[in-house]
Amino acid sequence: MSPSIIIALLMGKSPQLQAVSELLARSGIHCSIFEAGRDLIHSVAEVRYDMLLIDDELPDIPAIDVVRAVRGAPARDVPIILLATDSSEDSLVDALDAGADDYVCRPLSSRVLMARIAALRRRVTGERLRQGLVVRAGPYQLNSVGRFATLRDERIALTPKEFDLAMLLFSNVGRVLPSSRIEQTVWRHELAPLSRALAGLVSRLRKTLRIGAENGVTITVVYAHGYRLDVLEEDAAPRLPAAGRRTVVRRFTES
């Protein structure tokens, strides 16, 4: 890895994580160390870090709140790995829902941690190369730089996971996307078989973007498979006479 990489390590008062800063230094990575969550939040507003490593046991505020605060800051696209003591599925899902990109349980393996850091940087670099992509479908437009949507020029704010889901669906108009692929894209792993997290996220996205036939775009549940987003032709909207019409799918465009 390049020695120009700067990683912020929010380690609270955990002496075990001192080894992490030493590991990063040996790898040629500059490491800024923080004990309090609020200090890191303030620093993120002023310094552009390449990645944040956040311990889940902090002296001032919950680590989840730090993640949420960072995701609401101007530098909200910084990659985040949560270093956790709790290996339960609920804690993992909560962390990823809050905006963490990865979740590594302690005790930490040096090789595993460095591999996770390298893999996350590769993925983020690829995503940043695609920044500037604008996806259009019907009256909607998704902007990858600001990670927001517009509906007939009305700007709509989206949570990180809402935007990831929207970008995946709007980039695959008319295609059935398996639930497993959506989960890997949005949560970076497949959810438990009985989890309702994906269904809940789809429901929230419909509400946030006001998706429905009245706006020319629908999301359909394909039983036992996944979800499909369709763009309706203008004459398929329900406000017009419905007799004898068919739903026609238009492909999205990029610019």
CATH of the domain at 52: 3.40.50.2300
Domain boundary among 129, 160, 181: 129
Q: How far is CA 197 from CA 22, 94, 162, 193, 239, in A?
A: 38, 11, 12, 10, 33
pLDDT of residue 189: 83
**122 and 10, same domain (yes or no):** yes
Residue 221: pLDDT band (50, 70, 90) is very high
Query: Residues 76-82: what's their mean pLDDT?
Result: 82
**214 and 173, same domain (yes or no):** yes
Assess contact for 182 and 193: CB atoms under 8 A: no
16 conformational bin, left if phi > 0, alpha if psi -120 to 50, beta if neither:
alpha
**122 and 96, same domain (yes or no):** yes
Q: Per-residue pLDDT tens for 21-50?
A: 888 888 888 889 998 999 999 998 888 888
Q: How far is CA 206 from CA 77, 99, 137, in A?
A: 24, 20, 15
Domain boundary among 89, 110, 129: 129
Q: Is residue 54 over pLDDT 90?
A: yes
Residue 199: pLDDT band (50, 70, 90) is very high
Residues 6+ away with beta carbon under 8 Å from 125: none
pLDDT of residue 126: 55
For 179-247, give the secondary structure using H, E and C.
HHHHHHHHHCCCCCCCCCHHHHHHHHHHHHHCCEHHHCEEEEEECCCEEEEEECCHHHCCCCCCCCCCC
Query: Residues 108-131: what's their mean pLDDT?
Result: 73
Residue 29, classified by CB atoms within 10 Å of its CB into exposed (0-12), middle (13-18) or buried (19+), is buried
**45 and 74, same domain (yes or no):** yes
CA distance linking residue 219 with residue 207, whole number of Å? 11
3-state secondary structure of 252: coil
**106 and 16, same domain (yes or no):** yes
pLDDT of residue 6: 85
**60 and 123, same domain (yes or no):** yes
- How many domains does the structure of the chain reveal? 2
Q: Report pTM.
A: 0.52
Residue 65: pLDDT band (50, 70, 90) is very high
Q: Is residue 197 over pLDDT 70?
A: yes
Query: Residues 186-200: what's their mean pLDDT?
Result: 88
CATH number at residue 204: 1.10.10.10
Tell me if 45 is assigned to some domain. Answer: yes
pLDDT of residue 237: 39
Angle subtended by helix axes 179-187 and 197-209, to nearest 10:
80
**175 and 96, same domain (yes or no):** no
Assess contact for 217 and 138: CB atoms under 8 A: yes
pLDDT of residue 252: 42
- For residue 176, the tally of other CB atoms under 10 A from its CB is 13
Q: What is the mean pLDDT of the chain?
A: 81
Tell me if 1 is assigned to some domain. Answer: no
**159 and 217, same domain (yes or no):** yes
Q: Per-residue pLDDT tens for 142-191?
A: 987 778 899 998 999 999 899 999 999 998 888 899 998 899 888 888 88
User: Which range marks the domain in which residue 60 is found?
Assistant: 6-129
Assess contact for 212 and 206: CB atoms under 8 A: yes
Domain boundary among 129, 163, 195: 129
Query: Phi, psi at residue 237, to the nearest 5°?
Result: -70, 145
pLDDT of residue 204: 95
Q: Is residue 53 over pLDDT 90?
A: yes
pLDDT of residue 2: 44
Q: Per-residue pLDDT tens for 229-242?
A: 999 875 433 333 33
pLDDT of residue 235: 43
Assess contact for 98 and 219: CB atoms under 8 A: no
**229 and 145, same domain (yes or no):** yes
DSSP 7-65: EEEE-TT-GGGHHHHHHHHHTT-EEEEESSHHHHHHHHTTS--SEEEEES--SSS-HHH
Q: Is residue 254 over pLDDT 60?
A: no
